[in-house]
Amino acid sequence: MTGALWAVIRRDLLLALRQRGDVLNVLLFFVVVITMLPLGVGPEMGTLRLIGAGWVWVAALLASIVSLARLFAQDYADGALEQLMLSGQPATAIVVGKILAHWLVTGAPITLAAIPIAVMFDLGFERAATLVAALALGTPALSLIGAIGAALTLGLRGGGVLVTLLVLPLTAPVLIFGAAAVEATAGGLSPAPDFLFLGGLSLGAAALAPWAIATALRISLE
């Protein structure tokens, strides 16, 4: 099972390196959405400092949804997904490997990109550190929950729109607690409760989502 997990991660990371343009497009989308905020609300630093962290979370959520299109679709189109599911390896191990690879090429770069963005919004060291830590804890939940929507809509016409409709309501708690952690730091309070909620959401999704995704993939392949 461990060997299958690492083999899937390695395979998906190699594919991402060969198609690095898709990975860069997601990161570029994240940055472009972030830069739209000053154009929409004005360049007043006090306003940007107040709502910047929440906007970063919105951009991270949207970028995560955009990246879901390539999570299973390419393997489904060329038959590789069916071969993986029929390989005799646990389906949950294959699913977990693909989600980990997805987070490494989307969630992790977004988390790192938040560092210069926090400087751009003048969040200060404490709020910037809280934002990065919250993204590190919360973005795995975005990948896990988003993968459920991607599996359920696999092969359907207009699946991208359906994924958005399915994923957005389910990821709202991640967005709420992620932004609340930064607000707590700005108010002189501890962000630990919000971190615990984010970690709990990611761990809960990690425990339940692979089984749901594996079942959805089997249904889609049938």
What tens digit of pLDDT does each residue of 187-206 get? Answer: 889 999 999 999 999 999 99
Q: How many CB atoms lie within 10 A of CB 133?
A: 19
Tell me the chain's radius of gyration from C-alpha atoms.
18
Tell me if residue 71 falls in helix, strand or coil.
coil
Cut 0.85: pTM above it: yes
Domain parsing of the chain, residue ranges: 2-221
| Distance from C-alpha of 211 to C-alpha of 200, rounded to nearest angstrom | 18
What DSSP state is assigned to residue 190?
-
Mean pLDDT (whole number) for 116-133: 88
What tens digit of pLDDT does each residue of 72-93 get? Answer: 888 887 788 888 888 778 888 8
